[in-house]
Amino acid sequence: MRNQRQGTRGNKRTTTAQKRYRSGGTDTSSFTLTKHDVSVASGPLQKDWQAFVAKPDDATAEAVAKALEKLSPRLALASVQSIAETLAERPALERSAMSRLIASRLSGDAARGFLKASAAVRLTRPATETPKTPEKPEEQPAPQHEDLLHGLDLLPPKTLGGLPAKTSHGRDRQQIEALDLASDKITADLAGFEQRTDEVRDISAMGHLTEALQLINSLGGTAGYSEQRRADLASKVKGTTQEHLVEQIGFRAAKTQRTDKSGLSPQNQLAASYWRTNFRDNLGDLLQRLQKNGKPGPGDLLVNSPRVLRKLEMMVGPEVVAGLTIEPLAGTSGISVLSGTGNHPSIDWNSILQELGATPSAYQLYELMDAGKAPPPTDYTVDTRADLAELITSGPFSRLQEIARGKSELAPVCAMIEHLVLGLTDELGPSRYDALTANALNSLSWLLGIVVQNERNPSVAMRAVDLMMDELGIVVAVAKNYTRTDYQDTMRQVLLERAPGIAPLVDKEQVQLNSHLMTSGMDALGTALSIALSSRDHDQVKRPTADIDYFETGLLLSKLKKGQVVRPRNDVLVAALNPSTPFDAPSADKLVADVREELKTRKKGDPPFALILDTTIEVAPRSPDGRTQLDVVLDGLKDAVAAGTLEVFCCKSFQKYASFGTGKVAAGDLTLLSKKGNLASASARAETLLQDRALDLARGDELQFVVHMFKHGHRDELALIRSAAGNAEFVDGFCWPINGEDRKQGSTYVDGIPLLLRAPIKADDLFKKLVTIDQRDSFSFLRTSYVGGIPGPYGADKPEEKWYVRINTGHEPKQAMVENFYAFGHLESDTLPGEKRSDGKVDLDRLDIAMVRKHLKALDLAQGDPDIARYRNSIRASYCAFAAQNLRPKTKALPELRDFFATPAPDVTIETQRYLAGELLSLAVMPGTILDRPLLAALARAAVLLPAWEFEPIAEKLNGKLKQADKSPEAMKLRAIVDRALEQPAPLVL
């Protein structure tokens, strides 16, 4: 019976490091002065600093703070920097506790200076301080389960092979393993794990992880982490302006279309799978709480701004627009009620408003619910700056930085978290005496521990990272340090870094650059098009190349191209830097040449030519000169912009990789570049500013998170794209190769983008059976997903050939890519392992076991391919998984699953091993299955892989069948595992 949820924790907590100091667990006599200590102690702080070093506690920290107050501001800031550098050289346990003590006693500029100095010194630590990685030992057979504990199965073995239950540092082995910390072997080698953890500087991390374990194990039934967080915090913020921040936990992540797991997963019933489109399906609950003066009423539609009527003129006739009214819900701006649409039932208003990007900001809706409520009371029992100082000087954070500087799949993900957390020390820092902020930082600390201890199990780590983004969002939303000016300055900095060619003209004020926060990428596109047309009297527009337009704009652009509302000509050009339906590789050089050719036709007195450029997917530089695509475009057109003959509208969706692969932001950006002082561009500049003001996003929570992400992590956006794009190239070339000239098979365009298209027969039905792949309506998530119903190249002969599946690759290891896609890709064309791609096409909906066995036999014979040799076990796992998902009846896959577990497969990911183990055990307990000795041996190996909560119901069924089994060693081994499972309570899987 599963552990029940424990009581709610308070915001005030005593850290592991503090407990050890206060209990006398630290031998202060061993402290020695470093070179920085000498610097600190040689000045006015000498006596107080030495006392603090000898006995760090509240009193000695207070004395240091008072001594600092007596110094001049300049000398005080220099001293706190020296203190931060000194503490950075301490062992992690001492460093973290001492940093917290100092931060808790500082105030004003000294407190902010200490936080910034602590953040900076962590970033500049020399690489020589990183512990040396021991030489890789010779590969040994995985030990049998009696001598170890594994995964989330908290079942005590009969023996521990001579190892004590607790180490010299007091770490409980069962609790360590409950966090699934060693998953690279089919059974975990605890002795090896013990050695590995002892190499980490902060040995106290295990105590920290015990807290995290208690939280995870407290989640019962179907509850997820975010659901638990909302339940625990609801009463603390009820009736205050922070109530909506708690209700948003788990809401930011676009909802998966799979059944989301409990444990480490964001869950919120109001979350949408795609913000711009189907968020309206979840508005009912919010609308009831937003009623004001009878609005919105029956038939009314919520839109993002009162200026939507101007954009509607592109889609419907003036007589229709004249019969519509629009009124803001509150004040004169922001979310508004559109009335009168019911008078035109033949018009598909939802589709039109989606194409215009008029969907209201979800975060604004939440904030409106708390309008007029009282702010939360100040809580002087918490100190968030001390919490933050402790966090960024802790051992887990140090380990995070080491992973970020490594080469594992988690490196770019950890780098992102590192920069976003360190960014909290900037400006004024978090709201110091706010209980919700303290609670969020506490949760952030727990999740951080889970991330760093799951480097070898990236799926668990990335789930924790998804949840960390909610906590970061709370901290910055409460603090509200950022303004509209910060947004403009940040976006300017990012653009000029990525497109340095135009920077001199911007700096010299020859080119004016204005950035504006929009509610979505489609809002940015629709607004840019509306502005471009309105400044040309809605005269004419041109659609350049049909095969690179985003399919979401099909309705809008088709109307414009056909002249249903405006007549086509050539003074507005819509293009995409990179397509989200990747068939034809765009060329930045060709785009520049096309625009320049159009500019030659311009006459004196003509309005500036308008280039509307979707910059959502900005790939990392790949050319020898290291230039970005954006730099190629803007540098090639900068003279025309400076001359006033060209305006460039850069449109970006933040729901994609601008949210760092976490899918946490639904906003967008519109940046206009025009000639400074050019009267011909004055209308466009004014319109973008008016749209910005009408949306009124700058005062809300959304701007806080967007600015924080871009200010402190914009380089991580490109790094994450590069990482996921590498997986896309690997899937395209090794796992699922196709004939690129036959577009009916898909697209081979994977040049730097984290996407690829495939078109097997009955594609969507088959992908839905890939239970280990997430189903999302978008891309840019840390874990791999897919979305169906993607239109292919325009002009396909048959309707059914227009639809493809887009694979959105994440940051899992290459083994996971093989396990998910290799069998699918090779069976689909009956291309045997080791052979070249055939042009065949197989209906896998009628998969036969003989076909699977033919491929597995070819795999055994395949020689000479280094990738096949490297991923052989993962390829086997891929065929077994695909067979289990598609064979009917599923029992046909039993022999292959049994053979897979006949020997260890340590290089297969733990997720795939667990899936296959669950399938094998489920088939074994079916009536008629004979438990012979080979199957019993395989079942024993599979059983130790499953977490106890999943194995327990199977164990009950196995128990009955085992009564009829023989007394062989294999049967006795499995019986022992079953007996233990039925005796122990089961924790929740991560």
Min mean pLDDT across 191-200, 278-287, 892-901 is at: 191-200
Pairing of strands 336-339, 511-518: unpaired
697 pLDDT more than 90: yes
User: Does position 598 have pLDDT exceeding 80, yes or no?
Assistant: yes
Q: Which stretch of DSSP H or E encloses residue 787?
A: strand 785-791
d(CA 779, CA 761): 23
The pLDDT confidence band at residue 214, using thresholds 50, 70 and 90, is very low
Phi, psi of 26, deg, nearest 5: -105, 130
Cβ neighbors of 240 (< 8 A, separation 6 or more) are 370, 373, 374, 375, 376
Using the predicted structure, report yes or no on whether residue 120 has a pLDDT greater than 60.
yes
pLDDT band at residue 43, thresholds of 50, 70 and 90? low
Q: pLDDT at position 984, please?
A: 57
**Residue 255: closest CA among 231, 232, 230, 281:** 281
Residue found under tokens 């031998």 = 27
**Phi and psi, residue 966, nearest 5°:** -75, -175
How do 325-328 and 511-518 pair as beta strands?
A: unpaired
Tell me the average pLDDT across 376-390.
96
Mean pLDDT value of segment 83-92: 89
Q: Could you give the 3-state DSSP secondary structure of residue 652?
A: strand
CA-closest candidate to residue 492, choices 507, 481, 476: 507
In the structure encoding, which two tokens stand for residue 121, read together? 């010194």
Residue 32 in this model has a pLDDT that exceeds 80:
no
pLDDT tens for residues 536-551?
654 444 444 334 344 4
Torsion angle defined by CA atoms of residues 883, 889, 893 and 898, in that order, rounded to the nearest 10 degrees: 140
Determine the Cα–Cα distance for residues 456 and 476; give it in Å rounded to an integer.
31
pLDDT on residue 556: 64
pLDDT cut 70: percent of the chain above it: 77
pLDDT at residue number 661: 83
Q: How far apart are CA 530 and CA 690, in angstroms?
A: 13
C-alpha distances (whole Å) from 957 to each of 138, 790, 945, 951, 962 are: 40, 43, 17, 10, 9
- Band (pLDDT 50/70/90 cuts) for residue 434 is very high
Taking all residues of the chain, what is their mean pLDDT, rounded to a whole number?
80
Q: Kindly indicate the confidence band of residue 372, based on its pLDDT and cuts at 50, 70 and 90.
A: confident
Question: How many angstroms separate the first and last alpha carbons of the chain?
Answer: 17
Cα–chain center distance at 240: 29
Residue 917 C-beta-side C-alpha neighbours within 13 Å: 26
Dihedral pair phi/psi, residue 21, rounded to 5°: -65, -45
Instruction: With H, G, I as helix, E, B as strand and everything else as coil, classify residue 791.
Output: strand
Q: What is the average pLDDT across 417-445?
A: 95
| 901 or 530, higher pLDDT | 901
pLDDT at residue 270, as a whole number? 75
Residue 77 CA to residue 71 CA, distance in Å, equals 9
> Containing H/E element for 353?
helix 349-356
Contact (CB, 8 A) for 247 and 256? no
Contacts for 982 with CB less than 8 Å, ≥ 6 apart: 952, 955, 956, 959
- Mean pLDDT is highest, among 154-158, 745-749, 854-858, for 854-858
Higher local confidence (pLDDT), 987 or 347: 347
More confident residue, 864 or 553: 864
Sheet with strand 336-339: strands edge to edge: 301-303, 336-339, 325-328
Tokens 């649409």 locate to 341
Choice among 327-341, 350-364, 565-579 with the minimum mean pLDDT: 565-579
Alpha helix (H) ranges present in 218-265?
A: 225-237, 243-247
The tokens describing 189, both together, are: 């080698």
φ, ψ of residue 649 to 5 degrees: the values are -105, 110
CB atoms within 10 A of CB 268: 20
CB 680 within 8 A of CB 687: no
Question: Does the pLDDT at position 189 exceed 50?
Answer: no
Q: Identify which has the larger pLDDT, 134 or 355.
A: 355
Q: Rounded to an integer, what distance in angstroms lies between the CA atom of residue 6 and that of residue 9?
A: 9
With CA atoms as reference, report the closest residue to 393 among 86, 5, 747, 721: 86
pLDDT at res. 765: 87
What's the pLDDT tens digit per position in 154-185?
333 344 344 444 444 444 433 333 343 333 33
Q: Which long-range contacts (CB under 8 A, 24 or more apart) does 168-177 make?
A: 169/203, 169/206, 170/206, 170/207, 171/197, 171/206, 172/210, 173/149, 174/149, 175/206, 175/209, 175/210, 175/213, 176/206, 176/209, 177/149, 177/150, 177/151, 177/152
- pTM given for the model: 0.85
Task: Name the residue among 420, 406, 152 with its Cα closest to residue 264.
Answer: 152
Q: Is the pLDDT of residue 63 over 80?
A: yes
Higher pLDDT: 950 or 988? It is 950
The number of helix segments (H) and strand segments (E) in the chain equals 41, 13
Lowest mean pLDDT among 25-39, 718-732, 880-894, 933-947: 25-39
Region 228-251: mean pLDDT is 92
Angle CA 636–637–640, to nearest 5: 140
pLDDT at position 663 is 74
